Chain A
Amino acid sequence: QKEVEQNSGPLSVPEGAIASLNCTYSDRGSQSFFWYRQYSGKSPELIMFIYSNGDKEDGRFTAQLNKASQYVSLLIRDSQPSDSATYLCAVTDAGTYKYIFGTGTRLKVLA
């Protein structure tokens, strides 16, 4: 069974701090990696994707990928209360059109 593991949280950080969210995956063949933000009662919204080892930055968000360790992380700098949400990690199922999702980490940014 291919899996994506995330700590369910909640992860609480003060406003202005860096929030660090982590994800591990079991399928060594996965090629594409995604972070989604989901507010309560809303649909998942894609915020970052990364395809190769290293870091990818977009505004306050940085995605980090380490394929050797099968580890993906999301850093949110200068965290805001509006960042409070559940963050879902997803990876592609190698050789198929499917995506495997983690159960999400709930982030709380305290004002």
Chain B
Amino acid sequence: NAGVTQTPKFQVLKTGQSMTLQCAQDMNHNSMYWYRQDPGMGLRLIYYSASEGTTDKGEVPNGYNVSRLNKREFSLRLESAAPSQTSVYFCASSDPKGYEQYFGPGTRLTVT
């Protein structure tokens, strides 16, 4: 089992460019999450999907959109990147509700 996988590992964007971060899990989990981690700020929830077909905003959703493509895949899209979105992005999954959450390796994004 690969667990939670993310692509790409690194990305550099110019302000205004768009991109999609991909996440997939092979643990048959229902819930999936996108976080960003900035120095001194801890992990902040961007969006989550409690189950296939549903998505909800987290703490910092502005500037992002998500798609729960199927049970395995949950993507995060930046429509018009801004320097404030420079961060490390982690995808995670869990099942059932309130149980252990597992993280992907992360995507390090720099917006210039």
Contact = CB atoms under 8 A, between A and B. Distances in A.
Interface of A: 8, 31-32, 34, 36, 42-46, 49, 88, 90, 92, 97-99, 101-104
A32 B43 contact: no
Interface of B: 31, 33, 40-43, 45, 48, 50, 58, 90, 94, 97-106
Contact of A90 (B40, B50, B101, B104): B101
Please indicate which of the listed interface residues A49, A97, A98 has the most CB atoms of chain B within 10 Å of its own CB: A97
Contact of B103 (A44, A92, A102, A103): A44
Given A88-B43, A103-B42, A98 B104 contact: no
A91 B21 CA distance: 26
Contact of A44 (B40, B50, B90, B97): B90
A97 B42 contact: no
B101 A46 contact: yes
Contact of B99 (A32, A88, A101): A32
Contacts of A31: 98
Nearest to B96: A97
Contacts of B90: 43-44
B105 A43 contact: yes
B5 to A, nearest CB: 11
A98 B103 contact: no
